[in-house]
A and B are shown apart, each in its own frame.
Chain A
Amino acid sequence: MLPNQDSYDFEMLRSELSWIVGDDNCRTDASEILAHSIDYYWVPECWHDRGQKLPGPDFVVSPANAQEVSKVLQFANTYHLPVTPWGGGSGSQGGALPVYGGIALDTKRMNKVLNVDPISMTATAETGINMQHFEWELNKHGFSSMHFPASIGCATFGGFIAHRGTGVLSTKYGKMEDMVMSMEVVLPTGEIINTLPVPRHASGPDLTQLFCGSEGTLGVVTKATIKIHPIPEARKFRAFLFKDMHDAMMAGAKLMTNRLRPCAIRLYDNAETARLIKNVLGIDRKGSYLVFGFDGYEKIVDLQMEEAVKICKETAIEDLGAGNGESWWKIRYKFFYPAYMFHMPQSFGTLDTVADFSHIENVYWGMKNAVAKNFPEATFIGHFSHWYDWGCMLYARFIIENPPKDPREAVAQYNRIWDVAIHEAIQNGACINEHHGIGLKLGRMMKELYGPAYSVLEGIKKTLDPNNIMNPGKMGFKGM
């Protein structure tokens, strides 16, 4: 526990931190503390909504570069203060919440694009840069990251690395871990290291991938290089309606296993088609809506589209045409604006997971049935996006219209649903999560997912972070 704000010791800590990052960049004001106490995790939102006091950081510290990050971490080791990296705070797993107080290390001052290399088609940036700003700057040079998550304007580059985030075009361009070439990391003890400059080699295990998805528990990623792409000549979409999710899933899988290269495929189950597709796109149909797209040279796009349409026509009940595909692309972020999103007092969560084509439908039905059986008050909906050669991601959601008023009861119910649904996902051959990460929310399930292999992760954590200062209590690691 830190001394309270009106003590000599607190002032001493504040002075030392201010010497490292400058007075303006070591904040203890109530506005900043409040804003860093709530991320996109439902639990703090619920607590705030119900007037509960929220745990927050003692200091919000914004370093300008890796050297300052290093000094902050050395300082934190001296005083055994927890340090929680905070990018955009848009993570939905509570990963950025400074649950033990201490330092919220806000990365947003490290926000520069450092290099755009048009020969290798790579770009290097500091990781606190807002992803939309990074994309805009690349566009100005005539390129794109092709990373288009719904939270492109909400989140930082580093946040996406820390969570192995994904965007709408991941089916062709990959998830963040596929995009990253190399990175600079400040280890928990303050050493600044660089991973190898290229992602493919036979020079030992891949450190870049170790830090992708480490959620601030193994250090602070301060700089990274990613692949970039030319703006494609054409990008075209097409939508189909299928009788049910199974037929649509088979068609989507066939697009992938026939080795077409769509940039996006998205399949909405019957419930989401009836709810979201109707609400947002105005397409009022019974069945499962499938949309996909191709991009690149127009001739190649057209050729691939022709083959894809043939596949879909085998089983679809309606060809919704290019217009109903294009409009989905145009309003792809709209789903996340408040008027279309779930909101308090509803209880809701995104149970995203991933499995191969042989298992993914069982995962869906396993989770859906388990939620229906144990929580009849919950609605379960889902869509499938981010398709791979071998499987796809299920973006399932539960919604409870009227959860208990008492915040503790509401949170207990919320946690139970997660346990039941994710346990079912693991049992059916899926993972805890596909792109939102583990954070505080799902740490308790890491041992079930990894089995004995989890001790490898624990060993790495112990070695890199002997004083356990980096984001304690997250990803299933020990708290303070």
Chain B
Amino acid sequence: MNIEKYLEDINSCRFCFMCRHLSATAQATGSEAYTPRGCALIADSIRMDKKALDNADFIQTIFRADLSGACRKNCNGQYDANKRLVDEIGLKVALRQDIVAAGKAPAEVVALAGKMKKMSVKVAGKGSVLYYEQGCVQATAPEVIKAFQKAVKDAATITGPDGLALHVMSYEKDALAQRKAFVDAVKASGAKTLVVSTPAAYWWLKPVVKSAKVVLSSEYLLGLKPKKGKTVKAAFIESDFLNKYPETRSDAPRKLFAALGYALEDFGTTEEESYTCGEGSVVTGFLYPELAAKMAARVAHLAEKFGVKTLAVASPYTKAVLAKALPGVKVVTPEEAFAR
């Protein structure tokens, strides 16, 4: 089983409560099971008795639990360089892989994975800049794409799956095959810069796309020397991938907002928490909209409490979920801020 590779993580997390206050799904639902401790206990039960893989409740929990990285970041921050870092996300993904391999994935996951597997990559236009017009953004926050294309009129576009959705759902072979097809298409396009709007795609593609420089849309737009507008006071929600995931830390969205005249204050009570409503799990909004809505309700409660009128977010995913939950609040992405 894949989880056998994560034995140390199981042993670390299964009786540990230290990061429970950062588990986004646990906070939103009040559930113990979604915390790294809860998930590790499930993994451990399955490790000790494979029959537990038949437990539909365990399976649902593992697919619903967030991959925000907030827990891991808090935990790893405590460790000396000589200590092994705990990878609670790796453990959850490994367990999802075991579930998929055993043919026990939940029906909604099977259905979405089936749909994703049928998609293919397409490139339109030619040029040194290739903009990734992601299907999920097109479906949930098309205004973000429009805003980018208004600002950068001559970029070629690439559409189709990059494999990340399949990765988080743990169809690993298919995920890697899709990513390879995507990488090949970027290469074939001859583009020198690949611009992505979602921090998730940035995290997933940056290490493997070698033919072009992968940049966040905010990074790219910063290079266009944005003009400072009127000062707008806004609360800022950082992306999990740019803050909690160590491989792709970036403050480009924050810098772009600042360059455009936004006076940002971190949203909520601390930057340790994840307020992204499931961004780390990439497809939570599609698979479990009621869970994303619960996470959004928590953000809405804090927004109301602290009188937030404008919310600047780093990720289109977060914008899509929050725009629904916060009708009285203006939610704006870097692309839209630039276009305005």
A residues near B, CB below 8 A?
24-25, 27, 29-32, 34-36, 38, 40, 45, 48, 51, 60, 62, 86, 88-90, 106, 108-109, 111-112, 128, 130, 132-133, 136-137, 139-140, 151, 153-155, 331, 333-334, 336-339, 341, 343-344
Q: How far is the CA of A109 from the CA of B29 in the complex (A)?
A: 8
The closest CB in chain B to the CB of A140 belongs to: B269
Known A30-B57, A51-B48, A344-B11: A337·B18 in contact at CB below 8 Å: yes
Query: Which residue of A35, A130, A137, A337 contacts B41 across the interface (Cβ within 8 Å)?
Result: A35
Binding site for A on B (CB under 8 A): 11-22, 27, 29-33, 35, 37-38, 41-42, 44-45, 48-49, 55, 57-58, 60-61, 74-75, 78-79, 83-84, 86, 269-270, 301, 306
Query: Across the two chains, which residue of chain A brings its CB closest to B298?
Result: A111
- Cross-chain contact B12 with A339 (CB below 8 angstroms): yes
Closest 3 CB pairs of A and B: A154-B17, A35-B32, A31-B33
Give A191 Cβ to nearest chain B Cβ, in Å: 25
Known contacts A31-B57, A35-B37, A136-B269; A106 and B30 CB within 8 A of each other: yes
Q: Bound complex: CA of A137 vs CA of B57, how far in Å? A: 34
A contact residues around B78 at 8 Å (CB): 331, 333-334, 337, 339
CA distance A431 to B35 in the complex (A): 35
A461 to B131, CA, bound (A): 69
From B12, B17, B27, B44, A89 is in contact (CB under 8 Å) with B17
Q: Is the CB of B22 within 8 A of A153?
A: yes
Q: Cβ of B19: which chain A residues have Cβ within 8 Å of it? A: 153
What residues of chain B lie closer than 8 Å to A34, measured between beta carbons?
A: 33, 38, 41-42, 45
Q: Can you report 15 residue pairs joining A to B where beta carbons are below 8 Å apart?
A: A30-B55, A31-B31, A31-B57, A31-B61, A35-B33, A51-B49, A88-B17, A130-B20, A136-B269, A154-B21, A331-B78, A337-B16, A337-B18, A339-B79, A341-B16
Residues of B within 8 A of A334 (CB): 78
Q: Which of B31, B41, B55 makes the CB contact (< 8 A) with A48?
A: B41
On whether the beta carbons of A35 and B18 are closer than 8 Å, the reply is no
Hey, which chain B residues are within 8 Å of A337, CB to CB?
Answer: 16, 18, 75, 78-79
Flag if A38 contacts B270 (CB, 8 Å).
no
A137 and B269 form a contact (CB under 8 A): yes
> B44 to chain A: which residues have CB within 8 Å?
48
CB nearest to A334 among chain B residues = B78
**A31 partner, pick from B13, B14, B60, B74, beta carbons under 8 A:** B60
Residues of B within 8 A of A128 (CB): 30
How many Å from the CB of B57 to the closest CB on chain A? 4
Contact: A25 with B30, CB < 8 Å? yes
Among B11, B19, B31, max chain A CB count under 10 A is at B31
Rounded to whole Å, the gap between the CB of B270 and the closest CB of chain A is 5
Residue of A nearest to B302 (CB): A137
CA distance A301 to B79 in the complex (A): 31
Q: What CA separation (Å) do A62 and B41 show in the bound complex?
A: 21
A36 (CB) vs chain B CBs: closest residue: B32
**Which A residues touch B270, using CB under 8 A?**
136
Known: A36-B32, A130-B20, A130-B21. 13 other contacts (CB 8 A): A31-B60, A34-B41, A38-B15, A38-B41, A88-B17, A88-B20, A136-B269, A153-B17, A153-B18, A153-B19, A154-B17, A343-B11, A344-B11
Chain B residues near A31 (CB-CB < 8 A): 31, 33, 38, 42, 57-58, 60-61
- CA separation between A155 and B32, bound complex, in Å? 12
> Given the complex of chains A and B, what is the CA–CA distance between A339 and B84 in angstroms?
8
A25 and B30 CA atoms in complex are apart in Å by 9
Q: Name the residue of chain A whose CB is nearest to the CB of B17.
A: A154
Nearest-neighbour CB distance to chain A for B99, whole angstroms, equals 13
Alpha-carbon gap, A89 to B22, bound state (A) = 16
Contact (Cβ within 8 A) A338 B55: no
Contacts of B14 in A (CB 8 A): 48
Among the listed A62, A133, A139, A341, which residue makes an inter-chain contact with B21, where contact means beta carbons less than 8 Å apart? Answer: A133
Contacts of A51 in B (CB 8 A): 48-49
Residues of chain A within 8 A (CB-CB) of B17 are 40, 88-90, 151, 153-155
B269 touches A338 (CB 8 A): no
The docked-state distance in angstroms from the alpha carbon of A336 to that of B60 is 30
- Contact of B86 with A338 in the complex, beta carbons under 8 Å: yes
Residue of A nearest to B44 (CB): A48
Residues of A within 8 A of B35 (CB): 35
Q: Chain A residues with Cβ under 8 A from B21's Cβ?
A: 130, 132-133, 153-154
Bound state CA distance, A112 and B269, in angstroms? 13
Closest residue of A by beta carbon distance from B48? A51
Q: Is the pair A27, B12 in contact by a Cβ cutoff of 8 Å? A: no
CB-based contact A338/B16 at 8 Å: yes
Provide the bound-state CA to CA distance between A155 and B79, in Å: 22
| A28 nearest CB neighbor, chain B only | B57
> Contacts of A343 on B, CB cut-off 8 Å?
11, 15
Query: Once bound together, how far apart are the Cα atoms of A341 and B37, in whole Å?
Result: 15
Q: Are B18 and A336 in contact (CB under 8 A)?
A: yes
A116 CB to nearest chain B CB (Å): 11
Task: Report the Cα distance A136→B31, complex, angstroms.
Answer: 21
CB B299 to nearest CB in A, in angstroms, measures 14
**When chains A and B are docked, how far (Å) is the Cα of A336 from the Cα of B41?**
19
Q: Kindly state the separation between the CA atoms of A333 and B17 in the bound complex, as whole angstroms.
A: 12
**Which residue in chain B gives the minimum CB-CB distance to A64?**
B30
Q: CB-nearest residue of chain A relative to B290?
A: A24
A60 to B33, CA, bound (A): 11
Contact, CB under 8 Å: B12 / A153? no
Contact between chains at A339 and B20 (CB < 8 Å): no
User: Contact at A32–B31, with CB atoms within 8 Å?
Assistant: yes
A343, B27: Cα distance in complex, Å: 27
CA distance A336 to B18 in the complex (A): 8
- Closest A residue to B37 by CB, please name it: A35
Complex Cα distance, B75 from A344, in Å, reads 19
In chain B, what residue has the closest Cβ to A27? B31
Q: A35 near B12 (CB under 8 angstroms)?
A: no
Tell me which residues across on chain A come within 8 A of B83, comparing CB atoms: 339
Query: Closest approach, in angstroms, between the C-beta of A308 and any C-beta of chain B?
Result: 29
Complex CA gap A139/B37 in Å reads: 27
Residues of A within 8 A of B58 (CB): 30-31
